[in-house]
Chains A and B, each alone.
Chain A
Amino acid sequence: MKSKKFSLILIIILIFLSFYKISNESRFEKWSKILLCPVCQGEVIYDSPSEYASDMKDILQEQIKTGYTDEQIYNFWVTRYGERIVTDNIARNFEIILIPIAIISIFIIIFLRKIYAKK
Chain B
Amino acid sequence: MISSIGILTSWLLFLLLALVFITNNLLKINIYVRLIVFLNVCLFLLLEIGLFFDDFTVSYISNYSASTTPPLYKFASLWGALDGSILLWNLTLSLFMYFYLKNFKINTSNVDIKIYSSILFFFVGYTIFSSSPFAGCIEANEIGCNLSTLLPFQDLVSSQIGRGPNPLLQNHPLMAIHPPFLYIGYVGMSAPFVASVSRLVLKETSSEWVNVAQKLTFIPWLFLTIGISLGAVWSYEVLGWGGYWAWDPVENVSFIPWLLSTAFLHSAKVTKHNNSLLNWNYVLVGLMFLSTLFGTFITRSGVLISVHAFSNGTIGTYLLIGMLIFSLLFLYIGSINRRYFISSEKLKNKFGRSGFFIANNILLFSSAIVVFIGTIYPLFYETIFSRQITIGRNYFDVLVGPILLLLIFLMIFSIKLSIKNINLKKLYEDNIIFINSSLLISIIFLMLFNRSFNLVVTISISFILISLITLNIIKNFNKKGNSSYWAGQIAHLGLGVLAIGIILNFTQSFSQEIEINSFDNFIFSENNYQIYDIVQENLPEKTELKLPISNGKITKFTSLNIFNNSSQQAISSPAIFRNLIKDSYISIKSINNNTFKLIVRENFGISIIWIGLFITSTSFLPKLKLRK
Question: Could you list which residues of chain A lie within 8 angstroms of chain B, going by C-beta atoms?
Answer: 1-4, 6-7, 10-11, 13-15, 17-24, 29, 33-34, 36, 41-44, 46-51, 54, 57, 82-90, 93, 96-97, 99-101, 103-104, 107-108, 111-112, 114-118
Contact = CB atoms under 8 A, between A and B. Distances in A.
Interface in B537-561: none
Given A96-B395, A99-B373, A6 B277 contact: no
Contacts of B450: 22-24
B392 A88 contact: yes
B523 interface: no
A99 B443 contact: no
26 contacts: A7-B432, A10-B436, A10-B440, A14-B443, A14-B446, A17-B446, A17-B456, A21-B453, A23-B450, A24-B450, A33-B393, A34-B392, A34-B394, A42-B390, A47-B242, A54-B597, A57-B513, A83-B387, A83-B389, A84-B389, A84-B390, A100-B369, A107-B362, A108-B366, A115-B276, A116-B348
B510 interface: yes
Contacts of B389: 83-84, 89, 93
B390 A117 contact: no
A63 to B, nearest CB: 17
A104 B443 contact: no
B439 interface: yes
B522 to A, nearest CB: 18
Given A4-B432, A41-B305, A114-B280, A10 B453 contact: no
Contacts of B460: 14
B125 interface: no
Contacts of A108: 362, 366
B336 interface: no
Given A21-B453, A100-B369, 19 more contacts: A6-B436, A7-B436, A14-B442, A42-B390, A47-B241, A49-B241, A49-B587, A49-B588, A49-B599, A82-B387, A84-B389, A90-B398, A97-B395, A101-B399, A103-B369, A107-B362, A107-B366, A114-B280, A116-B348
B456 A49 contact: no
Contacts of B307: 41-42
B329 to A, nearest CB: 23
Contacts of A51: 590
A2 B389 CA distance: 54
A7 B425 CA distance: 14
B327 interface: no
B436 A87 contact: no
Nearest to B249: A42
Contacts of A104: 366, 369-370
Contacts of A103: 369, 373
A32 to B, nearest CB: 10
B388 A84 contact: yes
Given A10-B436, A17-B451, A22-B451, A50 B241 contact: no
B391 interface: yes
Contacts of A11: 439
Nearest to A85: B390
Contacts of A101: 399
Given A49-B589, A104-B369, A116-B348, A87 B392 contact: yes
A97 B308 CA distance: 26
A58 to B, nearest CB: 10
A87 B370 contact: no
Contacts of A43: 241, 246
A24 to B, nearest CB: 6
Contacts of A3: 432
Given A87-B391, A96-B377, A117 B348 contact: yes
A12 to B, nearest CB: 10
B59 interface: no
A115 B277 contact: yes
B258 to A, nearest CB: 18
Contacts of A21: 451-453
A39 B587 CA distance: 19
Contacts of A54: 513, 589-590, 597
Contact of A100 (B348, B373, B392, B452): B373
Contacts of B348: 116-117
Given A36-B390, A93-B389, A117-B347, A42 B246 contact: yes
Contacts of A13: 443
A42 B248 contact: yes
B362 A111 contact: yes
A44 B432 CA distance: 45
Which 3 A-B residue pairs are closest in the complex by CB-CB distance? A87-B392, A117-B346, A18-B456
Nearest to B587: A49
B426 to A, nearest CB: 13
Contacts of B566: none
Nearest to A118: B346
A87 B439 contact: no
B612 interface: no
B478 interface: no
B306 interface: yes
A10 B242 CA distance: 35
A18 to B, nearest CB: 4
B279 interface: yes
B433 A17 contact: no
Contacts of A82: 387-388
A18 B451 contact: yes
Interface in B372-426: 373-374, 377, 387-395, 398-399
Contacts of A41: 305-307
Contacts of B249: 42
B540 to A, nearest CB: 25
Given A13-B443, A14-B456, A47-B243, A97 B398 contact: yes
A105 B173 CA distance: 44
B501 to A, nearest CB: 19
B437 interface: yes
A107 B280 contact: no
Interface in B230-278: 240-243, 246, 248-249, 276-277
Contacts of B280: 111, 114-115
B14 interface: no
A99 B377 contact: yes
A43 to B, nearest CB: 6
Contacts of B347: 115-117
Contacts of B240: 49
B435 interface: yes
Given A10-B443, A20-B451, A117-B348, A1 B398 contact: no
B219 interface: no
